[in-house]
């Protein structure tokens, strides 16, 4: 048994019977109750009396606490080992796959000057930052070397539409390769939509490319942080979001399932009014939101005095926003907060959503790779961002598509180091944390914030963010009524989007 505390009892001991009966577990003490987790990912929320009863072995077969401990796999002699091995094997199957997300940075050019730009964009005239046809083909070739049965090729920038011919060529080239490779293939495009037109949209719809954009709040806030000198950034993005959603409907797709994804980056300007942000997302037709903290990458490291905030402030914002999302659902508005849903998938559904930021170990080099416009391969997109904005000494560069072999890249020392650094069981502070079964580490965040990929969790804002969000989720689960429990369960149900999937060999 290990413990980490928010509010720890004055004394805590464990009796001999409990030592014999119970599986190893960890405890986090919150206000008025206790979170217990085991290595299988099961949990129990107990009040003081129940915890005392459990630890002193004051339970009998057939009583409610015993039944609960058996159901949640806390009694060693009652474990269904075959079923639990199968469950763990399913949750950890990603370990045998290889990188499935391949991010192609086709240009650094961008016509927006976002105050927090994580990508360290270049001006529109900097054509030397465009990826060439030769480099994009080599990047796609490299991605197809992955042992993963499924690939997602994601186009990023800068603004990827600024190098549209290379995006289009990469899609056609990947589809041709997949006719022989036989992988499950999807495409994604991250764009500010300023260079979108009907011809490009028609092609993206035809080739079933998932489109994602940024929407940082109502018009005044969006335009204040996402500066676009050629026009009204907010009006443009909302117009194209509505047009894309209309095209999905015209294609006969379910509008509840197929909609353009929009992501906000929370700035100080939005921090005081989460309801305004959520209402705006509902107004423009979104059914979900991913509340993202302002990360310390790229230009954000230099503008934090103007648009930044403390992690404590963000956690207050997050709680207010989650409360309002629940209220929206009570009022009949179907809406999801994605960070919460990802954690709930692990907590109550025992799923592995494969969200690389909270995977254990993380996805750097083993779940994703990022291909820079110049052919350099990075552990992840965050590693590429760190390299572009600091003297990182190539510490996140794992190869080059022009000169390196796939097997040497994925088995190289940098990928190994990132994997070790993000394995929670070997990280002080994480190995004894009750939230270990559900959490993850970002070594690049550790590097930019603390100068080491291992980091120091006691001082980490990454840890503080996840600890605060998981504490909030635990409090929600402890106090949830029937409606909230049903809502949380629904948030864990994954609805596949087969329209975006190019089946094996399809061309």
pTM (predicted TM-score): 0.94
Q: What was the pLDDT predicted at 121?
A: 86
Query: Tens digit of pLDDT for each residue in 35-81?
Result: 999 999 999 999 999 999 999 999 999 899 999 999 999 999 999 99
- Looking at residues 133-148, what average pLDDT do you find? 98
pLDDT in tens, 295-348: 876 655 566 778 899 999 999 999 999 999 999 999 999 999 999 999 999 999
- Distance, CA of 156 to chain centre: 16
Three-state SS across 440-476? Answer: CCCHHHHHHHHCCCCCCHHHCHHHHHHHHHHHHHHHH
Q: What angle do CA 361, 362, 367 make, to 5 degrees?
A: 110
pLDDT at 11 over 60: no
**Residue whose token pair is 């940075």:** 105
Q: Mean pLDDT of all residues in the chain?
A: 93
Q: Residue 507's pLDDT is what?
A: 40
pLDDT, position 295: 81
pLDDT digits (tens, 9 = 90+) for 180-235: 999 999 999 999 999 999 999 999 999 999 999 999 999 999 999 999 999 999 99
What does R_g of the chain's alpha carbons equal in angstroms?
Answer: 24
Which pLDDT belongs to residue 7? 44
């Amino acid at each position: 048994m290990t413990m980490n505390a928010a509010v720890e009892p004055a004394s805590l001991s464990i009796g001999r019977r409990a030592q014999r009966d119970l599986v190893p577990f960890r405890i986090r003490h919150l206000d008025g109750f206790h979170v217990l987790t085991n290595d299988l990912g099961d949990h129990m929320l107990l009040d003081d009396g129940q915890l005392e009863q459990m630890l002193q072995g004051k339970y009998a077969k057939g009583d409610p606490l015993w039944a609960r401990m058996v159901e949640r796999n806390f009694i060693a002699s009652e474990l269904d080992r075959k079923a639990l091995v199968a469950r763990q094997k399913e949750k950890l199957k990603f370990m045998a796959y290889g990188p499935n997300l391949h991010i192609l940075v086709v240009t650094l050019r961008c016509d927006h000057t976002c105050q927090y730009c994580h990508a360290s964009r270049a001006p529109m005239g900097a054509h030397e930052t465009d990826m060439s046809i030769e480099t994009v083909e080599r990047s796609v070739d490299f991605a197809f070397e992955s042992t993963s049965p499924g690939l997602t090729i994601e186009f990023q920038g800068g603004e990827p539409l600024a190098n549209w011919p290379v995006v289009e060529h990469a899609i056609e080239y990947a589809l041709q390769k997949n006719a022989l490779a036989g992988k499950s293939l999807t495409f994604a495009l991250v764009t500010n939509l300023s260079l979108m037109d009907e011809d490009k949209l028609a092609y993206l719809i035809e080739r079933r490319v998932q489109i994602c954009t940024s929407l940082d709040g109502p018009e005044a806030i969006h335009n204040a942080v996402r500066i676009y000198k050629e026009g009204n950034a907010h009006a443009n993005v909302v117009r194209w979001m509505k047009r894309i959603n209309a095209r999905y409907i015209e294609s006969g797709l379910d509008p509840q399932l197929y909609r353009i994804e929009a992501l906000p980056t929370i700035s100080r300007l939005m921090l005081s009014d989460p309801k305004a942000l959520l209402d705006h997302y509902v107004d423009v037709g979104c059914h979900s939101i991913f509340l993202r903290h302002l990360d310390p990458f790229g230009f954000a490291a230099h503008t934090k005095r103007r648009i930044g905030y403390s992690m404590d402030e963000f956690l207050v914002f997050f709680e207010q926003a989650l409360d309002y999302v629940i209220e929206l659902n009570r009022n009949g508005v179907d809406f999801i907060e994605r960070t919460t849903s990802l954690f709930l998938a692990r907590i109550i559904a025992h799923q592995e959503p494969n969200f690389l930021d909270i995977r254990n170990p993380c996805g750097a080099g083993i779940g994703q790779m990022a291909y820079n416009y110049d052919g350099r391969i990075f552990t992840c997109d965050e590693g590429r961002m760190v390299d572009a904005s600091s003297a990182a000494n190539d510490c996140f560069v794992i190869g080059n598509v022009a000169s390196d072999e796939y097997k040497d890249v994925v088995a190289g020392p940098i990928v190994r180091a990132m994997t070790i650094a993000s394995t929670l069981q070997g990280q002080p502070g994480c190995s004894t944390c009750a939230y270990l079964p559900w959490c993850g580490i970002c070594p690049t965040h550790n590097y930019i914030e603390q100068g080491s990929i291992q980091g120091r969790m006691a001082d980490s804002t990454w840890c503080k963010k996840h600890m605060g969000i998981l504490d909030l989720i635990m409090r929600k689960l402890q106090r949830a009524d029937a409606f909230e429990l049903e809502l949380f369960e629904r948030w864990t149900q994954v609805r596949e989007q087969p329209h975006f999937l190019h089946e094996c060999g399809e061309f």
